[in-house]
Amino acid sequence: MQINGTAYRTIWPGEDGASVEIIDQTLLPHVFEAAVLRTLDDAARAIVTMQVRGAPLIGATAAYGLWLALLADPSDEALDRAAEVLLATRPTAVNLRWAINDMLARLRPAAPDTRVAMAKARAGEICDEDVETCRSIGSHGLALIEKIAAGKQGGPVNILTHCNAGWLATVDWGTALAPIYMAFNKGIDVHVWVDETRPRNQGAALTAYELGAHGVPHRIIVDNAGGHLMQRGQVDMCIVGTDRTTASGDVANKIGTYLKALAAHDNDVPFYVALPGTTIDWTLHDGRDIPIEERGAEEVTRMAGRDGRGGVVHVDIAAPGSPAGNPAFDVTPARLVTGLITERGVCAASAEGLSGLYPEQGR
Ligand SMILES: CSC[C@H]1O[C@H](OP(=O)(O)O)[C@H](O)[C@@H]1O
């Protein structure tokens, strides 16, 4: 995406030919700073600590992580260990497994002395493919926004989104935000309700940062306000991302998504999920089988903010000593999803809908 005339991607190879650079998302929106990844462990740490986050970007980072590992040691043992380390970073986003398997399918049969160049090239292709995939998601989602805009008697199309599924969650464009950017760029009057998205506030910190930088009208709301806004007719549609969607359309996404889907269903608000095919888990049909990441209690009991010197500070916000639970995702059953916006088009959240768009995956 463009920020003040400068085009950015979220991950890129370092000029030294032996590193990868990322935008450190743990510092946004207060500090815009690149971090340099030089080793497998740097890449794994970036995923675990959420310097990079978002299913497609996690997959891209893992792909480059394998390259960094092979730079140090291109042997079979090193490749297998690297895959194991990266797969253990975060359990829910299926793009991680997809990217690792994609890379291993190419690297394992290759001669070790060809693997470094092959890994870097494929990681770059994965990034380029993600940009085009998200651009296509945007164009298919744009048609949905245009249809709602055509039916409105004046005023903006009010869209609610949860967490961050913008260009910061992918290599560029984003998934849930891509249709919004395209509608805004086309001059359609849109306004976005941005769920702050506790506990890490990806909405308030990242989605609001993205939309503000692009000039898209938006308002940050507390997570608990969405149902009220839907009841009062102030939400025309919801668009969210996903970290893993089953072959039958059950959707794992940031914690709180399910509650928004319930409110949308109760108020007849269309609830769309935007995703690339790489986020579909064709091995699962029942969302209850999706592993849900449990993150540290400190994410609930502490909050990041700007200190007085332009840096980032963390403050305790909970009663000292109180334990906290922190499931990072929940599962929205397909019955609550109006449609899935993919790079191949929009389909019902069902096995039939998905196999119609992805016949090669038919089971
Ligand atoms: C396009 S994937 C975005 C997806 O990832 C986020 O989770 P996290 O910030 O923990 O990586 C959230 O679930 C978004 O919808």
Predicted ipTM? Answer: 0.99
Å from CA of 73 to ligand 1 middle: 32
Spacing of C-alpha 116 from chain mean position: 27
Per-residue b/e over 165-198, b at no fewer than 16 CB within 10 Å? bbbbbbbbbbbbbbbbbbbbeeebebbbbbbbbb
Output the CA torsion 180→181→183→187 (10° steps): 140
Q: Is 170 in the pocket of ligand 1 (CB under 6 A)?
A: yes
pLDDT at 177: 98
Q: Is 257 in the pocket of ligand 1 (CB under 6 A)?
A: no
**Per-residue pLDDT tens digits for 102-138:** 999 999 999 999 999 999 999 999 999 999 999 999 9
Which residues of the chain, if any, have pLDDT below 70?
363
Spacing of C-alpha 100 from chain mean position: 17
Q: Is 26 in the pocket of ligand 1 (CB under 6 A)?
A: no
Structure tokens at 53: 């986050």
Q: Tell me which of 1.20.1420.30, 3.40.50.10470, 3.40.640.10, 2.40.30.10 is the CATH number of domain 139-362.
A: 3.40.50.10470
Question: Residue 57's closest CA among 276, 251, 328, 247?
Answer: 276
Structure tokens at 260: 């928004």
Residue nearest to ligand 1 atom 4, measured at CA: 54
pLDDT at 162: 98
**Per-residue pLDDT tens digits for 150-173:** 999 999 999 999 999 999 999 999
* CATH number 3.30.750.24 given to 2-129: no
pLDDT at 308: 86
Question: Residue 239's closest CA among 217, 261, 211, 222?
Answer: 261
Binding residues for substrate: 53-55, 90, 202, 253-254
CA distance 224 to 262: 13
Bridge partner list, 329: 254
pLDDT at 1: 83
Question: Residue 123's closest CA among 23, 26, 21, 246?
Answer: 21
Q: Domain residue spans in the chain?
A: 2-129, 139-362
Atom of ligand 1 nearest to the CA of 58: 11
Residue labelled with tokens 């194991």: 84
